[in-house]
């Protein structure tokens, strides 16, 4: 049973990875506009900013005004990557120390709380609920269940089948739902940093008063 589920996870992961890779390659089919202006700065500086200081809340107007949601999102995504790491350890039978498990549990608890808070916010706040689509709710619920099942698994291996099945559902859903932003995040931030770094817009320069 577990061997079959492990195989299913590997297959669903490969499907998800290939589908996402196809979507990335598809963007190249639209062509690339020529850049006529001469570079004003090193584009690499823009990439470093995009993955560094540019992620801080005070560098983004919306995040700076909604700090609770910002930190809930940080914990949520940290929980997702923690759960994926834990899943990888189980698939390849890697032994984790007691300290590692304790850290995993903490991150999974924070991630689960962050996901549930964001879900409740989407349900309870009318202005957010009005602009939400079914995919918003489905993606959140699937990931929340994935995180919670991982957390429960750290206490009881009896939920292994459920945890593995939820992992397969999530992998199969990623290419067709909004969860794929976790994959495209890195790709889009690189393009963002390259373009505006080349133009000398990023990193922003301090204005003298």
**Contact by Cβ (8 Å): 174, 138:** no
In what helix (H) or strand (E) does residue 31 lie, and over which residues does it extend? none
Q: What is the pLDDT of residue 108?
A: 96
The Cα 193–Cα 123 span in angstroms is: 34
The pLDDT value recorded for residue 118 is 92
What would the two tokens of residue 94 be? Answer: 């890697």
| pLDDT at residue 207, as a whole number | 47
Q: Which of 122, 112, 30 is nearest to 77 (CA)?
A: 112
Model confidence pLDDT, tens digit, residues 101-121: 999 999 999 999 999 999 999
Both tokens assigned to 35: 């850049």
pLDDT tens, 45-85?
Answer: 888 888 888 888 777 767 767 788 888 889 999 999 999 99
- Give the residue ranges of the chain where pLDDT is below 50: 207-209
| Distance of alpha carbon 22 from alpha carbon 71, whole angstroms | 32
What CATH code is assigned to 2-26+64-179?
A: 1.20.950.20
How confident is the model at residue 190, as a pLDDT?
Answer: 86
Domain boundaries, the chain: 2-26+64-179
pLDDT for the residue 208: 46
Q: Give me the helices (H) in 29-66, please.
A: 43-51, 61-65
Geometric angle at alpha carbon 153, from 151 and 154, rounded to 5°? 70
What is the rounded distance in angstroms from the CA atom of residue 189 to the CA atom of residue 127? Answer: 28
The pLDDT of residue 88 is: 92
- Dig out the tokens for 153 from the structure: 């698994």
Q: Are 116 and 34 in contact (CB under 8 A)?
A: no
Residue 62 has what pLDDT? 73
- Alpha-carbon distances of 116 from 77, 141, 160, 202, rounded to whole Å: 12, 8, 22, 34
């Amino acid at each position: 049973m577990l061997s079959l589920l492990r195989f299913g996870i590997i297959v669903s992961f490969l499907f998800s990875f290939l589908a996402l890779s196809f979507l990335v390659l598809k963007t190249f089919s639209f062509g690339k506009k020529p850049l006529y202006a001469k570079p004003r700065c090193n584009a690499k500086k823009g990439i470093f900013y995009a993955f560094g200081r540019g992620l801080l809340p005070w560098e983004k107007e919306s995040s700076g005004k909604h700090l609770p949601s910002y930190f809930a999102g940080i914990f949520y995504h940290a929980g997702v990557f923690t759960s994926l790491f834990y899943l990888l350890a189980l698939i390849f039978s890697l032994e984790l120390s007691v300290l590692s498990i304790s850290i995993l549990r903490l991150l999974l608890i924070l991630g689960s709380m962050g996901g549930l808070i964001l879900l409740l916010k989407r349900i309870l706040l009318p202005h957010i609920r009005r602009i939400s689509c079914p995919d918003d709710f489905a993606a959140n619920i699937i990931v929340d269940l994935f995180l919670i099942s991982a957390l429960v698994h750290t206490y009881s291996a009896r939920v292994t089948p459920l945890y593995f099945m939820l992992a397969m559902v999530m992998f199969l859903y990623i290419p067709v739902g909004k969860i794929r932003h976790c994959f495209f995040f890195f790709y889009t931030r690189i393009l963002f940093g390259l373009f505006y770094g080349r133009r000398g817009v990023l990193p922003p320069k301090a204005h003298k008063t």
